[in-house]
Amino acid sequence: MSRAPAAAFVFSIAFAAMRAEASPQDLFGYGARPVSMGGTGAAFADDFSAVHANPAGLSRLRARSLTLGYVGTAFWLDVADRHFPGDTGSATIIGLGLPIPFGGALRDRVGLGLGFFTPTNVIVRGRITRAETPQFVILPDRVQTVALQIGLGVALPAGFRVGVGVMAMAGLTGTVLVAADASGRSSSRIDDQLVATYAPVLGVQWERGDWRFGATYRGALVANFLVSIEARDLGINLPIFNISGVAQYDPAQVQFEAAWQHRGWTTALGFTGKQWSSYPGPASATTDNSPAPPPPEFSDTVVARLGVERRWSWIDGTHVALRGGYFYEPTPAPAATASRAYLDNDRHVFAAGLSIGATAAGTRYTVDLFSQTHWLAPREASAATGVVSHGGALLHIGTSATVTF
């Protein structure tokens, strides 16, 4: 590599900005039943999906279970009536439910759950984009990060249940060194590593008759991206460039929910408050003397959720369940401007799912299908060429198989 290309490489990276994304759990929910019921589950989740919906529900586990699944997400986004590129994402899901076999007062009262979300082609993705370049800051690449969740639930007297868990997500740190050797030729050396970031999950549930009530707190989950670029012996003096920002971001949130379960029916209504106002923005200053990127000025949001399930069960252990849901998620982002083209839209989300199960030789086998369709309400943004509209849709579909024994 010659000096000129090496310097151009450094400068091309130095003045770029990171795009911020959020995790698939925050976008869709986690597990077949919550996803197909509009992201509900804080009041009724009773399998491995409770690690995200509400870890208190893990105390309902009565048998061991293993779930393997696959999901895919496709984006149809547009800006100024032109297609906006968004990669199709796919991932595998692994879930484990394990009742803890205590005796005495703790018998059938403690359950442990684990959940893994693993993209099929990346570990974590962060794109480098200038702040003035139109970009959907919340939607694309949300299925492009490894996530791990673990939770523990305990049943208490008087119908109360409590749970605690932790979410983990992959971030990235690294260095890029561009230097000239003794012959005057320049070369680059890249050294990077993955780092884990953590956030707590706390939950409580209360049951009374056919009614269940739940509340879940999830801490802010921030996967940072930090790469330092240093140039040596190139014939020009360059500062150390820090390409840093947020590759994935889930705001702190509280979810409240009530569910009614009676004769095969489950109906849930809930609200999720998200603290987007604490979002630090997709990038930080590149050098000590460079100006800071424009603040995102995001606002807190409240998401309304509705989920319905109708389940038919027979004495031979066979069951069929139909599920549906809806939620409305307002955008936290202000209208984009020419200098801060962070695009996002209010979303109407329609969910659906099917579950079929059978029991043989004491082992239960279940297959689930689930989907969500997100419709982005059209919105206008300011750009260098004038006012432009942006919107689109995305489709999230998946299937999973569970063995309960």
Long-range contacts (CB closer than 8 Å, 24 or more residues apart) made by 102-106: none
| Distance from C-alpha of 44 to C-alpha of 258, rounded to nearest angstrom | 9
| Distance from C-alpha of 302 to C-alpha of 307, rounded to nearest angstrom | 17
User: Using one digit for the tens of pLDDT, what is the confidence trace for 21-71?
Assistant: 567 899 999 999 999 999 999 999 999 999 999 999 999 999 999 999 999
pLDDT of residue 5: 42
Q: Which residues of the chain, if any, have pLDDT below 50? A: 1-20
pLDDT of residue 201: 98
pLDDT of residue 202: 98
pLDDT of residue 384: 63
For the chain, the domains span: 3-404
Contact 163, 217 (CB under 8 A): no
The number of beta carbons lying within 10 Å of the beta carbon of residue 78 is 16
pLDDT of residue 368: 98
Longest dimension (CA), the chain: 81
pLDDT of residue 282: 74
Contact 286, 243 (CB under 8 A): yes
Q: Which CATH class is domain 3-404?
A: mainly beta
pLDDT of residue 3: 42
Q: Of the candidates 147, 45, 151, which has an alpha carbon nearest to the alpha carbon of residue 98?
A: 151
pLDDT of residue 19: 45
pLDDT of residue 11: 37
pTM of the predicted structure, to 2 decimals: 0.88
Which residue is listed with tokens 């670029």?
229
Contact 358, 367 (CB under 8 A): no
SS3 state of residue 30: coil
Phi, psi at 157, each rounded to 5°: -65, 165
Contact 228, 242 (CB under 8 A): yes
| H-helix or E-strand spanning residue 9 | helix 3-14
Cα Rg, the chain, nearest whole Å: 24
Q: For the chain, how far is it from start to end, CA to CA, in angstroms? A: 60
pLDDT of residue 127: 61
pLDDT of residue 179: 77
pLDDT of residue 142: 59
pLDDT of residue 4: 42
| Distance from C-alpha of 28 to C-alpha of 348, rounded to nearest angstrom | 12
